[in-house]
Chains A and B, each alone.
Chain A
Amino acid sequence: MTETMQEDGPRRRISLRDQLDCVPVYVVWETTLACNLKCIHCGSRAGHRRAHELSTDECIDVIRQLAELGTREISIIGGEAFVRKDWLTLVRAIHDHGIDCTMQTGGYKLSREMIEAAVAAGLLGLGVSIDGLQPLHDRLRGVPGSYREALRVLNDCRSVGLIASVNTQITAAVMPELAEVMDVIIDAGAKFWQIQLTVAMGNAVDHDEILLQPYELATLMPLLADLHRRGRERGLLLLPGNNIGYFGPYEVLWRGPDRGYYGGCPAGQNAIGLEADGTIKGCPSLATERYGAGSVRDTPIAELWANHPALQFNRDRGTEHLWGFCRDCYYADVCRGGCTWTADSLLGRRGNNPYCHHRVLQLAERGIRERIVKVEDAPALPFATGRFALIEEPIPLEVASA
């Protein structure tokens, strides 16, 4: 499943010109939905390939079109991208079109020889998912041995000379293990560590006990700040994913000061998500039902990008869509409700995001916290959402005094 928006390298950096001209700088591409893991938090419910995935020729034409639009990085994901027989052809085609190519993987059965071949084809970086220490990781990823394999891939990257990063999904269970996970991945050679909250989508709705409660950000964020500082001292850069935020006392630590600050959801303005059958969205993780903007098989990407309403929703930087706490937030004009995927998947509508540190702190000043309760399951489809109720309650006395 998608763990997107990796390290903020110079080519990834979005300029004012990029923003104004809506250049699709960054593309995350599910090249197949086939997967060799069975992750219980997978939003796309990956496993089997889609019925009509793009052919090799169609994929190469997509790459050509994206290059013409100014795309600077394509991250291929799945499913598991290397399950596609032509994955190296696609890596090479991306590279040959002058676009940086990265890949996100679970790492299971990705051999050293395959990594070497990918580097030769032009792969610039590999993101490997590690969601906890062995028992937790293997349980979440649904395949015994997947943790060992992920670490082996990190070590292979180091010996091959490929930049390796680690993606970690923040679930309710992983918090106590994070410090130890950091030790392990530093030892295995990782230089970047991207943290992303598990979102209430697909399989994660079926297993909602793994979801973090919004009020738990009060514990998580100081922990991440501490890990960020300690990681830096040891050559590891902890990077916040798009749903880690927003603002609050640690924003300057992990997003600034020289690299800026959270500027709102980039979906459909500087980012594109592609599904394996050619469906285009503003972000790969968004619910297809509400954010699918047609197929690149039927219509040129430039035309969809310029005209389709499902890709336009972020471009006027408006705040009319905000509701709940986010509507009256101090940062509303910039943050605009944070990660669209997180809010929309949870509450069925974007613009109100309880997974926000600033919000948690503001509510705590009033003695209030928020928790979520599932009220509707998600259909058995990729990128399907359920429905959660947001409960506001007094902070229990024992927590407040602690």
Chain B
Amino acid sequence: MVQTAPPEVRDLSSSVSSHKGDRVFNRVITGAAFTALIVLAGITVFLGAQTVPVLHSQGLSFLTTTVWNPTATPAQYGILGMLYGSLLLAVIALVIAVPASLLLSVFMVFMAPKKVATVMTNVVDLMAAIPSVILGLWAFYVLNPAAVEWQKLLNQYLGWFPLFKNDSGNFLGTPFIAGFVLAVMMIPIVTSVTREVLGRTPPELINASEALGCSMWTMLRYVAIPFGRGGIVGGIMLGLGRALGETIAVFFVLKLVFNINFFHIIQSGGGSVATLIVSQFGESSGNPETQALLAAGFFLFAGTLLVNILANLIVRRTGRIQS
């Protein structure tokens, strides 16, 4: 009896290869794969380097004051109003976009017939593909008049509530309108993530809850939403990162003021770091103000990077539980 020895097992999953061409190939590909690292490190280093002198001359007041006066001697730069404004806009956008996108994805996953759901997926993707400059154009000419109407009504009937106070009678350029535009941008981003997460709810769990006599609300409350919680939170944070970094759409509809507009969301004037950069850049080429804008950009980058990393970690963690 001749027993044939089993062929030698080659480990095909490792990249170790003795072939010279392979080694060159591996090195080239590995080098290219680190472009992301180079870019991120480059942004940190180069914008960070511009931030140091600004922090040196301004001290912490760069982050804690609301004055932007390049012509004063010494020039004063403070972006607190912008930082706060970015957060306020993001909160308004979240309040509108999160319920809307959750309901939208619940409708797509659990209610709509399959064909309708497919159409809606395409519609949501299409919404995501609309460039922000076009949303800004639409917001400026179409949303603005309508939103002024809504805000006047809000002010008329709920004006006693501090949130809806407006002393100036000017309803244009309010944080509400800017937040609404951001919400329109966020809805497709959040929806596409939550739809996927809810769609991954194991069908046997849904069937089991149905067999136990759960209504749809109970099923969502106790099965689908707890199951996808991490993914939903992560999706919301991805949208948040996009909202914080959005520049142009906000530029058209928000009246940029350096003072902090704390919570009068239907009163003209607000702030946004990203918009500050674009709006001040034109007049500032090549002087210390540009450097201050670069420093503002550095903090914007740091903030969005943090939000985005957190979001991805959360999404990934739920992915692991599910798989």
A complexed with B: no
Chain B residues packing against A (C-beta within 8 Å): none
